[in-house]
Amino acid sequence: MIVLGSTGSIGVNTLEVAKKFSIDIEVLVAGNNIELLNKQIQEHNPKTVVIANKDDLFKVKHPNVLCGEEAILKIIEDSKSDLVVNALVGFLGLRPTLTALKCNKRVALANKESLVACGAFIDTAKIQPIDSEHFGLWYLLQNRPVEKMIITASGGAFRDWDIKKLQRATLADTQKHPNWSMGQKITIDSATMVNKMFELLEARWLFGEGKYDAIIETKSLIHALIDFKDGSTTAHFADANMQLPIAFALDSKMQENILSHVDLLKVGSLEFREITVERYPVWEIKEELLQNPSRGVVVNAANEVAIEKFIAKEIGFMDIAKNIIKAYEKFDAQPKNVDDVFAIDKEVRNFVRVE
């Protein structure tokens, strides 16, 4: 298989699962972490490697190394593998998803920005999501009428902070996720609750029209719940470890033991909280966005630029949501095709950059 983003949090977990299942790795794609990439090359012996920057080419211990975004698309087109794991972060992951699907490959999709920005034009039949909440929903779904699908949020790094202090929160503060160890960008998205809004959109594209909502479960032991029309509610419990969703994304008929069971006596109690607009201002547009999911492209582009500005200390933490909402109010056109998605993405980025 091909692993895009092999040196990231999902990429590393994917390679561990691949080792356990003895899956052959044809291509590794990484960004700047060449030290880790070299270790992965030694262990998995890929035929081809792609990295982000040509200045790093000489550091990679492999005879066949390419670089840049076009090279990622080319190796997908040229490869024999039937399965592409897309664990790239951000809008950068969209073209590889589209290319893999065009080449009739299966896509194990962690790159949620692909569906958020372009879900209307992606055939989800060939996609197995790598996200704990969608895995949970998929696991719970059975042939009974559903009332509502609910996903859980941890509440992120600032769930217990005094709201008045949030504007001055630093990048380092955002990274103190209570339950999960993940890449920098998704950990910021968890703190703003953008991650959960993205996941509601993903769910909408993956499972179709219906009622979707999210609540905070502070231990991240329940990942999804389904309210069935008959009055039953079922919940998916599993430890906060992505290897379970990854294992099923690589092999949906998977029968192996991947994790220890959650020990409810050790857990003792669970706490649920509402997601409020006061702490998570982006939640204000959640319902409207779910009614018009194609507008996800606007939210995604605004979020990526706002995060860049936050990291560069040009704006405070609470301004990330303000930038998103402002862009959302300004750009209300819905993309009619994939070209529109790229055009709107560009326009929104230009707008937020100068805001």
**Residue 33 annotated as binding site:** yes
| Half-sphere exposure in the Cβ direction for 286 (13 Å, CA) | 22
The three-state (H, E, C) secondary structure of the chain, written as one string: CEEECCCCHHHHHHHHHHHHCCCCCCEEECCCCHHHHHHHHHHHCCCEEEECCHHHHHHCCCCCEEECHHHHHHHHHHCCCCEEEECCCCHHHHHHHHHHHHCCCEEEECCHHHHHHHHHHCCHHHEEECCHHHHHHHHHCCCCCEEEEEEEECCCCCCCCCHHHHHHCCHHHHCCCCCCCCCHHHHHHHHHCHHHHHHHHHHHHHHCCCCEEEEEECCCCEEEEEEECCCCEEEEECCCCCHHHHHHHHCCCCCCCCCCCCCHHHHCCCCEECCCCCCCHHHHHHHHHHHCHHHHHHHHHHHHHHHHHHHCCCCCCHHHHHHHHHHHHHCCCCCCCHHHHHHHHHHHHHHHHHC
Asked if residue 131 binds Mn ion (CB under 5 A), the reply is yes
Angle of helix 132-140 versus helix 194-207 axis, rounded to 10:
40
The residue (of 27 and 348) whose beta carbon lies closer to ligand NDP is: 27
Query: Which of 117, 122, 149, 242 forms a contact with ligand NDP (CB under 6 A)?
Result: 242
User: Which one of Mn ion, ligand DXP, ligand NDP, none is in contact with 159 (Cβ closer than 5 to 8 A by kind)?
Assistant: none
Please answer whether residues 133 and 240 qualify as being in contact, where contact means their C-beta atoms are separated by less than 8 angstroms.
no
CA 257 to chain centre: 24
User: Which one of Mn ion, ligand DXP, ligand NDP, none is in contact with 166 (Cβ closer than 5 to 8 A by kind)?
Assistant: none
**Residue 31 annotated as binding site:** yes
Work out how close the CB of 165 gets to ligand DXP at its nearest, in angstroms, rounded to a whole number.
Answer: 19
Asked if residue 128 binds ligand DXP (CB under 6 A), the reply is no
Asked if residue 111 binds ligand NDP (CB under 6 A), the reply is yes
Work out how close the CB of 216 gets to ligand DXP at its nearest, in angstroms, rounded to a whole number.
Answer: 8
Work out how close the CB of 195 gets to ligand NDP at its nearest, in angstroms, rounded to a whole number.
Answer: 7
What residue type is 53 in one-letter code?
Answer: N
Asked if residue 113 binds ligand DXP (CB under 6 A), the reply is no
Asked if residue 195 binds ligand DXP (CB under 6 A), the reply is yes
Asked if residue 304 binds Mn ion (CB under 5 A), the reply is no
| Nearest one of 48, 53, 77 to 63, comparing CA atoms | 48
Binding mask 213-252 for ligand DXP (x = CB under 6 A): -----------------------------x----------
**Residue 253 annotated as binding site:** no
Work out how close the CB of 214 gets to ligand DXP at its nearest, in angstroms, rounded to a whole number.
Answer: 9
CA–CA separation, 242 vs 132, rounded Å?
Answer: 7
Query: Which of 121, 180, 207, 237 forms a contact with ligand DXP (CB under 6 A)?
Result: 180
The residue (of 53 and 232) whose beta carbon lies closer to ligand NDP is: 53
**Residue 8 annotated as binding site:** yes
**Residue 316 annotated as binding site:** no
Work out how close the CB of 132 gets to ligand DXP at its nearest, in angstroms, rounded to a whole number.
Answer: 4
The residue (of 90 and 156) whose beta carbon lies closer to ligand DXP is: 156
**Residue 148 annotated as binding site:** no
Give residues 4-33 in contact with ligand NDP (rule: CB under 6 A). Answer: 5-11, 29-33
The residue (of 23 and 242) whose beta carbon lies closer to ligand NDP is: 242
Contact positions vs ligand DXP (CB under 6 A)? 131-133, 153-154, 156, 180, 190, 195-196, 242
* Binding residues for ligand NDP (CB under 6 A): 5-11, 29-33, 52, 87-89, 92, 110-113, 131, 180, 182-184, 186, 242
Binding site listing: 7-10, 31, 33, 111-113, 131-133, 154, 177, 183, 190, 195-196, 199
